[in-house]
Amino acid sequence: MINIHPDELFVQLQENASVRKKRTLEIIHGVCKKQYESGNKDFSISTIAKFIADNGGPSEQALRNKQGEDYRALIKQWAGHSDGSSRKVKKQKSTGLNDEILANVADPTTRALVGMILAENRKLKNENSLLKQQTTLTIDMRKPKNEDLGNSQNVVLVSPSHDLTDTELKALREAISDDFMKDRGWTVDNYGRVKEKSFQVYKPGYVSAIKKVLKEF
């Protein structure tokens, strides 16, 4: 039976079959023949069952039952004739760079830590991609006065008091206070530059920038 053509097996199976079984064999034989002609090598029970269902054929479970032995034999014969497979071929899961990295880490503990780092990196990349989708991104350091501005989808309002404690604010005030500058022999010019005689301590904008931050409070 193995060396015969599927057409021959089809004729043999139909010889003593009932009218209903003959009809089912015809449906299965026709579907398998189309698979062969199309070059598709998937002759698994699940795949063939999906195709014959459109033509009124039996279900997958019926093909797998004891009564479906002849049906499976015909499908298997077509699979062999087509150099295909009567079993569902599992798709190979594609491996990415992260999987390759983890595969090269032998120690389980280290592998777990590396996995956590890679997961965090993937999360940050996704967040970065979402930010890039914004056509316009405006960061407003001022206190929100217009509710419409706060409701805009493309505007991010950053509160000026974010992460600044009273102690930190006090430190900023003292950093540019007259007493502090005098004790160190420093002077401030019109550009916000801090100098000690001819030596530049802080570049232009240092004092003026701190004053702008403190002005918000």
HSE of 113, CA atoms in CB hemisphere, 13 A: 6
**AA letter at 167:** T
- In this prediction, residue 53 has a pLDDT band, given cuts at 50, 70 and 90, of confident
Query: Is the overall model pTM greater than 0.85, yes or no?
Result: no
Domain boundaries, the chain: 6-81, 97-132, 166-215
Q: What is the pLDDT of residues 90-145, one digit of tens each?
A: 555 555 677 777 677 666 557 666 777 877 777 887 777 777 665 555 666 665 55
Contact criterion met (CB below 8 Å) for 32 and 6 = yes
With the C-alpha atoms ordered 85, 91, 95, 99, is the resulting torsion angle positive or negative? negative
